[in-house]
Amino acid sequence: MKPRQKRFVFIAVAVAAVAVAVGLVLYALRGNVNLYFTPTQVFNNEVPQGRSFRIGGLVEEGSVKREKDGLTVNFVITDTNKKFPVTYKGILPDLFKEGKGVVAQGKVEADGVMHAEEVLAKHDENYMPPEAADALKKAEAANAASKAAAAPSVAVPVAK
Amino acid sequence: MAINWFKYSAPTTFYGLAGKLIPWFAISAAILFAIGLYIGFVVAPMDAQQGEFYRIIFIHVPASMMSMFLYMIMAGYAALGLIFNTRLSAMMASAIAPTGALFALISLWTGALWGKPMWGAWWMWDARMTSELILLFLYLGFIALHASIDDPRRADRAAALLAIIGSVNVPIIYFSVKWWNTLHQGATIKFSGTSMHVAMQQAMFTMLLACWLYAIAVVLTRVRSIILERERNTTWITELPEMKR
């Protein structure tokens, strides 16, 4: 082998070795690299007991309730499989909305509710103007309506 | 017609070529920045959820992409320099590092400015942000390591090894939002296409192209200075017209 081929092999082996090492480290840490736990993981007791942790998911539709002091908010985080109630006293970020992503950090107290110290909104990857978002919602509603209307007539054979 | 690819791998010939190319890249970068910012801030509609705040993506996304692209190119040049022992490759790697570090810093900074009003936090130790911060440290480490060794050829080799090993981090940044739960959202621009509004796409890709041209212009300018500095004792430098005054 020429010296430059030797150097090439050396570099390739070094990069491969480091990649494998980093891969193994990240694999070992996979639980810790995640920023939050899902409600399902909370129900499976995978979360630290009696300590503060983060829970993430969607804010359940219709679950956001403000108390009379105007600051305390109660809502439910769902991953569409399990749900978990959260209470938070403070100012919510702009993107906090029902049906949207959220990450809450806090402790679960004896009442079985997470008392959050911090609530963060998680943005999704969709960028569109408000008119397009409206049109999308209307189309979805129309689709649902036409499906409901079409359901009884499924048995009717379509003439071709 | 056979092209001699190795002709411009010598600093002697590359110096002149780079000098001729710089104005073209610089001028087209300036024009595209103006067009991109105009489309981004005037033509593109506001976002349904974020309102006007989303416009940070026209700077944040191109800067983040450039910081990763430039790292891979820097590592590529560093590898070429190590394997073939070519002088220019190592000089290119050192010329790319400050621009890459700048883009990484812009990416982190604009992300923080956007994160406070949107998420409710300047910073979160999630996988995407932490790995991008490591990328900035890799750039700074490359520059510092190169500067700390007096003999330029030895400095090239040591820094090149750091650059090559650090390239493992780039795929981690890219896939971090897929592999783990992060606060940072997933990829909008995927290999399979994008759901983004057309004017927003145009603004973002114009800005990305402008960033490329800017990066090329700046790197070529910087590599010319490095060539002058490193080859100052050679006869071809003393024979340059700009040296005879």
Domain locations in chain B as residue ranges: 20-44+55-243
| Tokens 């750091």, residue located | B162
A chain contacts of residue B48, beta-carbon cutoff 8 Å: 128-130, 132-134
Domain locations in chain A as residue ranges: 1-33, 36-142
Question: Pick from A19, A56, A125: which is nearest to B188 by CB?
Answer: A125
pLDDT in tens, chain B (245 residues): 456 666 777 888 888 889 899 999 999 999 999 999 999 998 888 887 777 888 888 999 999 999 999 999 999 999 999 998 888 999 999 999 999 999 999 999 999 999 888 888 888 888 899 999 999 999 999 999 999 999 999 999 999 999 999 999 999 999 888 888 788 887 777 666 667 788 888 899 999 999 999 999 999 999 999 999 998 888 888 888 877 76
Please tell me which residue of chain B has the smallest CA distance to A56.
B181
More confident residue, B97 or A151: B97
As a whole number of angstroms, the distance between CA B155 and CA B148 comes to 8
Which pLDDT score is estimated for B8? Answer: 75
Contact between B180 and A33 using a beta-carbon 8 Å cutoff: yes
Interface test with A, best of B50, B64, B80, B83 (most A CBs within 10 A): B83
8-state DSSP, A154: G
Which pLDDT score is estimated for B169? Answer: 93
Which pLDDT score is estimated for B2? Answer: 58
Sign of CA dihedral B49, B53, B55, B57: negative
Contacts 24+ apart (CB under 8 A), B21-28: B21/B216, B21/B220, B22/B217, B22/B220, B22/B221, B22/B224, B25/B213, B25/B214, B25/B216, B25/B217, B25/B220, B26/B213, B26/B214, B26/B217, B28/B213
Tell me if ipTM is over 0.90: no
Query: What's the predicted TM-score (pTM) here?
Result: 0.84
As a whole number of angstroms, the distance between CA B31 and CA A90 comes to 46
CB-neighbour burial class of residue B226 (10 A; exposed 0-12, middle 13-18, buried 19+): middle
Any A CB within 8 A of B122 CB: no
B chain contacts of residue A15, beta-carbon cutoff 8 Å: 164-165, 167-168
Q: How far does the CA of residue A99 sit from the closest CA of chain B (Å)?
A: 12
Contact between A95 and B50 using a beta-carbon 8 Å cutoff: yes
Mean pLDDT of A69-78: 86
Q: How far does the CA of residue A150 sit from the closest CA of chain B (Å)?
A: 29
Q: Which CATH homologous superfamily contains domain A36-142?
A: Nucleic acid-binding proteins (2.40.50.140)
Q: How far does the CA of residue A129 sit from the closest CA of chain B (Å)?
A: 5
Which pLDDT score is estimated for B218? Answer: 97
Report percent pLDDT > 90 for chain A. Answer: 1
Which segment of A72-76, A150-154, B158-162 scores lowest on mean pLDDT? Answer: A150-154
Residue type, A130: P
Any A CB within 8 A of B2 CB: no
The predicted-structure confidence for A78-136, as pLDDT tens digits, reads as follows: 888 888 899 998 888 888 888 888 888 888 888 888 888 888 888 777 777 777 777 77
Interface test with B, best of A6, A35, A77 (most B CBs within 10 A): A35
Contact between A95 and B82 using a beta-carbon 8 Å cutoff: no
Which pLDDT score is estimated for B5? Answer: 65
A residues 61..80 contacting B (CB < 8 A) = none
As a whole number of angstroms, the distance between CA B108 and CA B105 comes to 5
Q: Is the pLDDT of residue A155 over 50?
A: no
